Amino acid sequence: MTYLPDNSNCRNGERNIKKEIEKIRNEINKDQYYLHCQYVMGVLAVKVKIIGEQLESKYNREVIQNVSQRIKTPESIYAKMKRKNLKPEFTLAKTKLNDLIGIRIVCLFVDDVYEIVKMLKEQKDLTLIKEKDYIAKPKKSGYMSLHLIMGVPVCIDNKMETKTVEIQIQTTAMDFWSVLEYQLLYKKNVKTTKKYSVHDEDNKAKVGDIVKVVSSRPLSKTKRYVLDSIVEEAVIL
């Protein structure tokens, strides 16, 4: 006779997790969480854009290469609260988690990172709550970035409130490593694409070629790489 394992406890556990996540989702909808987050991200997006324009004018090059934003999902909120051994409730998460809203700023050089940080700190209406410099002191995994937790004042329902935001500032190389670290930690395939303007003096490369590029001095407003070699030519059928 073959005995099958009793999986009822596992199924009950999964159902309980789904219920708790759904409860967080319902609390979020009542709180207009996404609307408030989008408002905060809009305020910061304008500030980052102005900082980028000021630096571009100062150095005659595009300093900020990319800006991305994200809002924690109910699933992410649940997972992080459990990791912190806290009750997975949205009302508690709002007071315990500083990274419900996240912004990542990517630039080319380490000096750029620190200049952007300095300019963010100089914003009179933003409050610095916490700073972690993983560039000066990288994580054991090799992860490098500079993290700021900042308070952003916003007017919601005719009342001024301060929302916390995690701002990550890193170079393109650090950004690549952070994606790789995520894959190593969570064993997930994350497909990312980036566009680079590359100077090909002799027009050797064609669409579909796999090429090797190297960084160079700024050759134009967007070109900071030159073609080194063609690794593999595209097959034209």
Treating both helix axes as pointing N-terminal to C-terminal, what angle do 110-121 and 33-59 enclose, rounded to 10 degrees?
120
| Type of residue numbered 114 | Y
Let me know if 166 is a catalytic residue.
Answer: yes
Please state the φ and ψ torsions of residue 129, each to the nearest 5 degrees: -100, -40
Annotated catalytic residue within 14, 22, 75, 166: 166
Residue in 46, 94, 34, 124 with CA at minimum distance from that of residue 70:
34
The DSSP secondary-structure symbol of 85 reads T
Distance CA 195, CA 150 (A): 30
Distance CA 126, CA 122 (A): 8
The DSSP secondary-structure symbol of 32 reads T
**Which residues does the annotation mark as catalytic?**
166
